[in-house]
Structure 1
């Protein structure tokens, strides 16, 4: 059709006659016969109008004919874009030299017996200054350096054409030089600029290189630089694509002139993945990469702890190859394979250690707790006192716990459940089961506030069952403490509630049968151990309201059985959650007044106790004065934070619980332990400063009664990430879902608290993103221990395990 239109135009729009028909008849017919399946209605209507125009072509004046032909050519051109997909141009080819094979490289050492545990001073080429700088990073031996993995990579391996470059990405292109220009900056005579305009078959782009210093402003030096990039020569360029004043450009890229298209690249950076290492002052990226060139041959000494059969079974890379590829990867595929192998080994050590500890723990004889009176047991009496019934989930979990308590193997169980799911009442039932069997129980909480709350809950029910309960904390008076300790050692106290005070040497039990640890992630491994050692081998139940996905819990708490309560008790109102910007915070005050007028109470939570010069955040003390002196003089406002004395804390909490205080201004000290059914509004100022799981915990302080409750999040953040985080909380009330998002956003180290939980800080592994490798490592650990519990056939693996565990955890013992 375009050919026909061209001929008609060249012949003066005379409606030329073809072999069979005239021009206008041909075009009119072809226009309405076009495939219209992929065209919008307005396009089809336009083609029909053009066809009708050609039907009247003979009787139209020349100017109308000319306009009709032009419009038709434009329409057909736009249609060709729809029907003819653009031709894709393949990325350029770049010939990289083969990666160095370190297995055949001669190792340069100063002594004749090199090993992975040799100091860096034994390697030829590493100077004393470099050794000193590496020592400041904790790197002393060859092994230390090999496990000093890159924290990231600059990816120059993506070969692209100029037209497909995107601002903000790193890439490599191959193009020819069209023009070279140089000049000295008019504003700074010590700054010289070299500009290259390069071109490939898809477009052009400008490269800019800067030379800072008076010696680089010399005309002769600049001419020499220009001569290195002759017009017409081919160059390979790697760098970060930026958006400049005149389009996309490269600023200070790596450039190499090629003799021809098939020439092998000499640069060690162009077209490659460049490792980025953690550095220190004086230790440059170039220097540490040179050190790795000298040390990587020693990876050949790294013996594989796994037999070849198991390596092949899991499709793993050899450890020697993995060490080479993690530091100098050939491509993304080999980098991912190397990382998978090293992460697998890290997780395997963790899983083997956890499972071995678990096996050792289970071999110890534990008290078999069996009810003395099966018919009228303490637990059945406890059920009759409760104003509600256990949910099916609570019954299931309690049955799992009771089965463990009756076993001769010590229980080690983690109980997970969302805020308000009823974990505490299950723990009380378990403690009563121990007392009914003639043993004592201990409940340890991380804060005095939480310990006080547990004690009050127990005091509601246990005196009616003639079960004695007491509380011991750091603030317990000495005279009272002595009486409690005497009663505990003689069996006069059936259940003791306490904080870290329970693990003091002076605390001894008559017959400790069950230890319950609440908010277990807040305790160190050694602290939990100390409490367990106060009995022959008591059973252990740990609880957390900061849940993590079950598969992850089974893996990182591999020494614990995991129970999960997934059902909320009936009658709990859903908490409405809203978000306000900091500029809208005045709206909160009207909401507070409305809740108090309905005779309800309000929490107002802030991240800081007092004003800080370093952080521009409102503090609890400032807000307390503002609310009590200015905005809500007619109401009672209380203040609670961690720096207050235990006496003042308890006084404030009791006043809030009794209803004397209408508004409680607090820090996160109320995150757990404060249970006030009359509190219906939670205001969290600077909510962007908290983790998602922590915000969910704080939100759980309201909605504990039958009244409608709500939570207001005030966002003072200035970036989209903080807003996105809070939007997750607004849209979800599922603690497990929120915790998983929190893990992904903040990382497991912050959420789980690796130092407190006893988990190692992995060199490469990530508990969230590498969960599939973690599961694989756990299965392999189970396979190895089932076939060889003492690891007699895995001597290297056993040595590695001892080395890793000693480095990660010292002499701490995981329970």
Structure 2
């Protein structure tokens, strides 16, 4: 047998064939290698064999006993019942199998077997339809009972027992041929099991200790290769990519600070100093600017863009939506136009795109704010020195890199997020970046009073909104859907708009805003609300980012249980932008524990970092930040929430390797190099690492 055999199709395994191979494909199992790494979703400890004399009803037990009698009966409903009497010398009990009469050919008088299942009291101790395994005359490894047993994910047409038998055979035949991926020095330093032993015991552990240690080894592998991916990419960007060097002069910094219409916070000044240091280097900047909603990230981005333009380079800011791009264009124009910089907007809704593109290619435009329209083939920068990407987690790596690849020299890069990054993710999906954090808020930023009410109190809520509108304030009404066509139990934005406009708020100016409206209609609704021509804005999550209306001091979120926690926090961030009190009202009859936990967290805290950590606990990091879109593939075993200590050690080892052998050329790193190629399907050098 050769290790290359692991790439053979599963259809060639005895007992599989084409039909079952198609069923296995639903589980992502196409070859023997896939089967080796199809880890159990959980384990059941069936190793503690208990004497029948100690067994009590209402518990799950493992019993080894001999068959003393069998009988085939019929239930009152007509089901066949195979009744098996067993004894282990300390006591007797019954085993009953429904609609499985063929088992009488296996469980004959005198046969010894191990039974695993729930014990109940039916005129005596009894197990119904347990898993069992017949014992041979000689000692041998058990698969289904008498040990810690794996429980695998299934699909229709595949049984747990059949799949467990199949994987057991593959593990026995192939696990010894798995190549060790990590050098002896790393394994010794971290007291790790060998790779083949870890894979084998992850499926069929010899003990609880081996189960924990095998998982620790395999989680370490997932993390160390993820960190190598990050480290090699970071090394390539910093050491091999020619960057743009900017000159930072005190008179420019003073001029910028003097042009700001407000006093910058300590956090903003610190972030600006970090950006200045990066941009003054000939190595490309790769910096993440994170801060809570309203912490002032745009001002820091404006500083970086002004610095690049002051050095004769162009700066581009890419946002995920047209509304956010429009808002950035307005804000940055207010900040920087008085300094003499020429700023252009490029989105799908811009009418004269050709003219804007000409200004970009000629260098007439110093700064360009836009959406993904910036990465179109028709856009050619004259000398791009800085790329700013806002709400970065809503873009894929490919889109981000497409903007950076517009010019020969890699531009400095600043990415921004209003969703604070939990510590584990800062070490993982953003590990290639230096991080600046805005932890303080600008003066005048008020906390938002948050309530959670049942839908039965909706009329009281609307009365409260009316009272605020009479004071001259404005309000948002948010719905998770555009219309109610697909979910009659949820009021969509269009339905709410019609009801409020024609009835409850008939005396007020109301506008509707959602993503399926024409761009012109969206702009008109936003302008009316921004200019205080509308009292109420009924909208979907399109207003999650990019809306800055200080006079809007109240937000009602309908069916709040339908939103993620971070999304709720982002929506709440649209208000509280003035000196007066602001109110966020969550309407929900949430029944699930997770929905209740989300809404409770909104009431309990306005700290974006706390909210982000809680959201990751509830929803998982993959759904929250899109781990796969960052190129890391799937984490089969590692848990970014609970495996932080393993992650730290794996990161240290990975960056030690990158520091000493970035080409992975040393003999001890050859297997790592092969494993990297298999896991990430890229060459680790040059553009492959990027």
Determine whether 1:503 maps to 2:378. Answer: no
User: Distance between the aligned counterparts of 1:492 and 1:210, measured in 2?
Assistant: 82
**1:216-242 deviation digits (Å, cap 9, x = unpaired):** 8xxxx999979679xxxx996522578
Q: 2:98 aligns with which of 193, 205, 211?
A: 211
* 1:450 lines up with 2:319 in the alignment: no
Shift in CA distance, 240/673, structure 1 to aligned 2, threshold 3 Å: farther
Q: 1:384 to 1:614 in 2, by over 3 A?
A: same
Deviation string 1:781-809 (CA, Å, 9 cap, x unpaired) is 11112222211121111011011111899
Report the TM-score, using the length of structure 2 for normalisation.
0.90
Q: Which residue of 2 is the match for residue 331 of structure 1?
A: 207
Matches within 5 A, 1:196-207: none
Matched-pair contact (CA < 8 Å) for 1:579–1:713: yes
Aligned-pair CA distance for 1:672: 0.5
The answer for the alignment partner of 2:79 in structure 1 is: 190
Say whether residues 1:340 and 2:221 are aligned partners: no
Contact 2:143 2:164 in 1 (8 A): no
The alignment partner of 2:192 has SS state of coil
What's 2:247 paired with? 370
What's the counterpart of residue 664 of structure 1?
537
Task: Identify the residue that residue 256 of structure 2 maps to in structure 1.
Answer: 382
Q: Are the counterparts in 1 of residues 302 and 336 from structure 2 also a CA contact under 8 Å?
A: no
Please name the residue that 1:43 is paired with: none
- Whether 2:418 is the aligned partner of 1:541: answer no
- Distance verdict in 2 for CA 1:179–1:722, change over 3 Å: farther
Q: Say how many residue pairs are matched.
A: 683
Q: Please tell me whether residue 303 in structure 1 is matched to residue 179 in structure 2.
A: yes
> Given the superposition, is the C-alpha separation of residues 195 and 574 from structure 1 closer, same or farther in structure 2, using an over 3 Å criterion?
farther
Instruction: Give the superposition deviation at 1:114.
Output: 5.7
Distance 1:179 1:528, change over 3 A: same
What pairs up with 1:455-604 in 2 under 5 angstroms? 455-477=329-351, 480-535=352-407, 536-604=409-477
| Structure 1 unaligned spans of 5+ | 1-106
Matches of 1:179 and 1:584, distance apart in 2: 66
Name the structure 2 match of 1:284. Answer: 159
Q: What per-residue deviation string (whole Å, max 9, x for no partner) do you get for residues 306-325 of structure 1? A: 22222111111100101111
Q: CA deviation at 1:292?
A: 1.7
1:708 aligns to what?
A: 581
Question: Of 389, 397, 406, which residue of structure 1 is paired with 2:271?
Answer: 397
Q: Does the CA-based 8 Å contact 1:470-1:484 persist in structure 2? A: yes
**Alpha carbons of 1:422 and 1:183: their partners in 2 closer, same or farther (altered >3 Å)?**
same
Instruction: Decide whether the 8 Å contact of 1:580 with 1:714 is kept in 2.
Output: yes
Counterpart pick for 1:239 among 98, 108, 117: 117
Partner secondary structure for residue 556 of structure 1: coil
Deviation at 1:246? 10
**CA 1:303–1:113 in 2, change beyond 3 Å: closer, same or farther?**
closer
Among residues 172, 188, 194, which one is paired with 1:312 in the alignment?
A: 188
From the superposition, tell whether residues 307 and 808 of structure 1 become closer, same or farther in structure 2 (CA, over 3 Å): closer
Q: Which has the higher contact order (CA 8 A, sep 6+)?
A: 2
Aligned twin of 1:725:
598
Contact 2:143/2:165, CA 8 A, preserved across alignment: no
- For structure 2, the 5+ residue unaligned runs are none
Judge conservation of contact 1:156–1:239 (CA < 8 Å) in 2: no
Match of 1:786 among 650, 659, 662: 659
Shift of 1:680: 1.1
Larger radius of gyration: 1
What is the deviation of 1:206?
8.3
- Distance of 1:770 and 1:474 partners within structure 2: 43
RMSD: 3.5
Contact 1:125–1:294 (8 Å) recurs in 2: no
In the alignment, the residues of structure 2 paired with residue 741 and residue 118 of structure 1 have an alpha-carbon distance, to the nearest angstrom, of 43
Contact 1:595/1:601 (CA < 8 Å) preserved in 2? yes
State yes or no: 1:806 paired with 2:678.
no
Where 2:116 maps in the other structure, the secondary structure is: strand
Instruction: Indicate the residue corresponding to 2:302 in structure 1.
Output: 428
Q: 1:635 maps to what in 2?
A: 508
Cα 1:473–1:258 shift into 2, 3 Å:
closer
CA apart distance, 1:281: 3.3
After superposing the two structures, state which structure 1 stretch, 153-162 or 114-123, moved more.
Answer: 153-162
Per-residue CA distance 1:567-588 (angstroms, 9 max, x = gap): 1223321111111223333332
Q: Report if aligned partners of 2:632, 2:680 keep a CA contact under 8 Å in 1.
A: no
Larger mean CA deviation between 668-677 and 267-276 belongs to 267-276
Distance across 2 between alignment mates of 1:129 and 1:264? 34
Q: Deviations over 1:78-100 (max 9, x none)?
A: xxxxxxxxxxxxxxxxxxxxxxx
Distance in structure 1 (CA, Å) of the matches to 2:123 and 2:528: 67
CA contact (8 A) 1:325 1:334 kept: yes
In structure 2, C-alpha distance between the alignment counterparts of 1:813 and 1:615, rounded to whole Å: 49
Q: CA deviation at 1:708?
A: 0.4
Secondary structure of residue in 1 paired with 2:428:
helix
Name the counterpart of 1:46: none
CA distance in 2, matches of 1:311, 1:382: 53
Shift of 1:725: 2.1
- Structure 1 residue 340: deviation in Å? 1.5
